Amino acid sequence: MTSKVVSVVRYEKTGQSVRKAVLDCGGFDRLSSTARVFIKPNIVFWTRSCNFPKWGVITTSRVMEDMVTLLKEHGVEDITIGEGIVADPDDTETPAHAFESLGYKKLKERYGIKYLNIMERPFRRVDLGDGISLKFNTDILESDFLVNLPVMKSHNQTVVSLGLKNLKGTIDIPSRKKCHSADPDRDLHFHISRLAGPMPPSLTLIDGIYSLERGPAFDGRMRRSNLLVASADPLSADLAGSKILGHDPAAVGHLAYAAKNQQRPLDLSDITVVGEKIEEVASYHQHDFEYVRGPDGEMPKALAKQGLQGIYYRKFDETMCTYCSALNGLVLTAIRQAWRGEPWDGVEVLTGKAMEPSPGMKATLLLGQCMYRKNKDHPSIQKMFAARGCPPDPRDIVNALQEAGIAVDDTLFRQVDQLPGFFMSRYEGNPEFDESFFAVK
pLDDT tens-digit profile of 250-289? Answer: 999 999 999 999 999 999 999 999 999 999 999 999 998 8
Q: Identify whether residues 90 and 211 lie together within a single domain.
A: yes
Q: Is 159 left (phi over 0), alpha (psi -120 to 50) or beta?
A: left
Q: Identify whether residues 241 and 305 lie together within a single domain.
A: no
Query: In this structure, is residue 377 part of a structural domain?
Result: yes
What tens digit of pLDDT does each residue of 333-384 get? 899 999 999 999 999 999 999 999 999 899 999 999 999 999 999 999 999 9
Instruction: Tell me which DSSP letter residue 414 carries.
Output: H
Query: In this structure, is residue 433 part of a structural domain?
Result: no
Burial 27-65 (b: 16+ CB within 10 A, else e): bbeebeeebbbbbbbbbbbbbeeeebbbbbbbbbbbbbb
Q: Identify whether residues 279 and 305 lie together within a single domain.
A: no
Q: Residue 423: what pLDDT?
A: 81
3-state DSSP helix/strand/coil percent for the chain, to nearest 5? 35, 25, 40
Q: Identify whether residues 251 and 348 lie together within a single domain.
A: no
Query: In this structure, is residue 392 part of a structural domain?
Result: yes
Is-contact 160 227, C-beta < 8 A? no
Q: Identify whether residues 92 and 225 lie together within a single domain.
A: yes
pTM, entire model: 0.94
Q: Identify whether residues 98 and 178 lie together within a single domain.
A: yes
Number of domains the chain is built from: 2
Greatest Cα-to-Cα distance within the chain, rounded to the nearest angstrom: 68
Query: In this structure, is residue 338 part of a structural domain?
Result: yes
Query: In this structure, is residue 196 part of a structural domain?
Result: yes
Query: In this structure, is residue 372 part of a structural domain?
Result: yes
Write down which residue in 287, 305, 328 finishes a domain.
287
Query: In this structure, is residue 375 part of a structural domain?
Result: yes
pLDDT for residue 2 is more than 70: no
What tens digit of pLDDT does each residue of 11-39 get? 999 999 999 999 999 999 999 999 999 99
Query: In this structure, is residue 436 part of a structural domain?
Result: no
Is-contact 209 194, C-beta < 8 A? no
Q: Identify whether residues 281 and 297 lie together within a single domain.
A: no
Is-contact 412 391, C-beta < 8 A? no
Q: Identify whether residues 172 and 272 lie together within a single domain.
A: yes
Q: Residue 1: what pLDDT?
A: 41
What tens digit of pLDDT does each residue of 33-76 get? 999 999 999 998 888 888 766 899 999 999 999 999 999 999 99
- Sign for the pseudo-dihedral over CA of 65, 32, 202, 120: positive
What tens digit of pLDDT does each residue of 181-218 get? 999 999 999 999 999 999 999 999 999 999 999 989 88
Q: Identify whether residues 295 and 170 lie together within a single domain.
A: no
Q: Which residues, 6+ apart, have CB-to-CB distance to 59 below 8 Å?
A: 41, 42, 43, 149, 150, 151, 207
Write down which residue in 287, 318, 349 finishes a domain.
287
What tens digit of pLDDT does each residue of 91-111 get? 889 999 999 999 999 999 999
Radius of gyration of the chain (CA): 22
Q: Identify whether residues 145 and 239 lie together within a single domain.
A: yes
Q: Identify whether residues 305 and 264 lie together within a single domain.
A: no
Full domain range(s) for residue 36: 5-287
CATH code of residue 129: 3.40.50.11440
Q: Identify whether residues 133 and 280 lie together within a single domain.
A: yes
- What is the C-alpha to C-alpha distance for residues 8 and 280, in angstroms, rounded to an integer? 11
Write down which residue in 248, 267, 287 finishes a domain.
287
